[in-house]
Amino acid sequence: MPRLRRAGVGVTALVETKGLSVRYGGATALDRVDFRIDRGEIVTIVGPNGSGKSTLLRALLGGVRPSAGSICRAPDLRIGYVPQRLVLDPTLPLTVTRFLSLSRRVTRGAARAALETAGVPGTGSRQMSQLSGGQFQRVMLARAILETPDLLILDEATAGLDQPGSAAFYRRIEEVRAETGCAVLMVSHDLHVVMSASDRVVCLNGHVCCEGAPDVVAEAPVYRALFGEGTQGALALYRHRHDHRHDGRDTPHSHDGHTHGRGRPHDHGQGDQGQDDHGQAHRDDGPDGGVPAAAISSATRDGEGAPRSGDPDGCRRVAAAGKVS
């Protein structure tokens, strides 16, 4: 499959996987994943529960042994990691300042400055266990930044935060990237925020379903099949025509088939049933729906043309055309 993404001239990947597969017992968590992140990039991995997002992160950190494929890290790569949550055993006393010095000693002044920048000034002498969820995440981010990482990895770092809180958190991450030039790799459920904050989005469901610039991925049918339609309200409706599957399963999809070409919102009420959609879908498959495929890459369209009843999750590769820009 042709890869158009930054043809590798002068760019060395910070981390790169090739054909990475991970199996837990008999179950395949990751299946031939090719992934790379370059210096200064903000990349987000999205995917439903159990799609292997966390497994991929842990593999990149070195905590999971691949059953096939390779993981290649840049030499002397410094990683700053913000875990999804940190379970502090109540028997372990830990002040915020001490936590900031966890794996690398920092001076009191540096710690104070880091807390100020992170938006949690004056918390240095408090116990980690006394912090609120938002403060805790900010402190973890501050610690990760103090490591002066080349690559900042955030695993659902805003899981416990409310909307404004996580928006502020992501703004802070963009600032950090601007200040330090580090690459940022995030796993997230906050699709709206993530989409606006990332350079590139990788949609994962055991394998890489599609990847590319946020708006391209958001329009990709495989992405929409996984996340439904409600996630990108601003999209032109005629692009929804790709939103169907050919195996008759009741995945979110499809009543938008009617609207194509007209681009007007159109409520189908009860048209939401599998059978109905199925029929509808085939009609759409005609040689020409009369519909501009807009930003969807040709690879996507090719993929759409052929029924894929064998594909269990409705996912398939979309060429990484999104990164051409």
Partner 1 sequence: MLDDFMVRATLAGVGTVLAAAPLGCFVVWRRMAYFGDATAHAAILGIALSLALSLPIFAGALVVSLVMATIVALLSGRGYAMDTLLGVMAHSALAFGLVAVSFLTNIRIDLMAYLFGDILAVSRADLGVIWGGAAMVLGLVAWRWSALLTSTLNPDLARAAGIDPKREQLVLTLALAIVVAVAIKVVGVLLITAMLIVPAAAARPFSRTPEAMAVIATIAAAGAACGGLWTSYRFDTPTGPTIVCIIAVLFCLSAMVSGLRSSFTARSEG
Instruction: Indicate which single residue of 28, 117, 127, 180 sits in contact with partner 1 (rule: CB under 8 A).
Output: 127
Which residue, 126 or 323, is less far from partner 1 as judged by CB? 126
89 binding partner 1? (CB under 8 A): yes
Q: How many residues bind partner 1 (CB under 8 A)?
A: 26
Least distance to partner 1, CB of residue 62, Å:
5
Instruction: Indicate which single residue of 86, 110, 294, 324 sits in contact with partner 1 (rule: CB under 8 A).
Output: 86
Instruction: Indicate which single residue of 93, 261, 290, 307 sits in contact with partner 1 (rule: CB under 8 A).
Output: 93
Q: Which two tokens stand for residue 129?
A: 């266990």
CB-based contact 320:262 (threshold 8 Å): no
Query: HSE (CB half, 13 Å, CA atoms) of 74?
Result: 17
Here's the x/- map for partner 1, 135-174, by CB under 8 A: it reads as: ------------x-----x-x-------------------
Report the 10 Å Cβ neighbour count for 111.
22
94 binding partner 1? (CB under 8 A): yes
Among the candidate windows 87-95, 108-116, 169-177, 195-203, which touches partner 1 by CB under 8 A?
A: 87-95
CB-based contact 247:307 (threshold 8 Å): yes
Least distance to partner 1, CB of residue 126, Å:
10
Dist CA 231 CA 229 (whole Å): 5
79 binding partner 1? (CB under 8 A): yes
83 binding partner 1? (CB under 8 A): yes
Here's the x/- map for partner 1, 200-239, by CB under 8 A: it reads as: ----------------------------------------
Least distance to partner 1, CB of residue 14, Å:
13
Which residue, 87 or 234, is less far from partner 1 as judged by CB? 87
User: One-letter amino acid identity for 101?
Assistant: S
Q: Which two tokens stand for residue 56?
A: 């991929």
Which residue, 89 or 288, is less far from partner 1 as judged by CB? 89
Q: Where do the DSSP E strands lie in 260-305?
A: none
27 binding partner 1? (CB under 8 A): no
Instruction: Indicate which single residue of 18, 58, 112, 189 sits in contact with partner 1 (rule: CB under 8 A).
Output: 58
Dist CA 50 CA 287 (whole Å): 36
Give all strands of the β-sheet with 27-38 in edge-to-edge order: 27-38, 13-24, 68-73
257 three-class SS: helix
Longest CA pairwise span in the chain (Å): 68
- Which helix (H) or strand (E) segment holds residue 83: the answer is none
CA angle 287, 293, 295 (to 5 degrees): 155
Output DSSP code: residue 150: S
Dist CA 53 CA 157 (whole Å): 13
95 binding partner 1? (CB under 8 A): yes
Residues in contact with partner 1 by the rule CB under 8 A: 57-58, 61-63, 79-81, 83, 86-89, 91-95, 98, 102-104, 127, 147, 153, 155
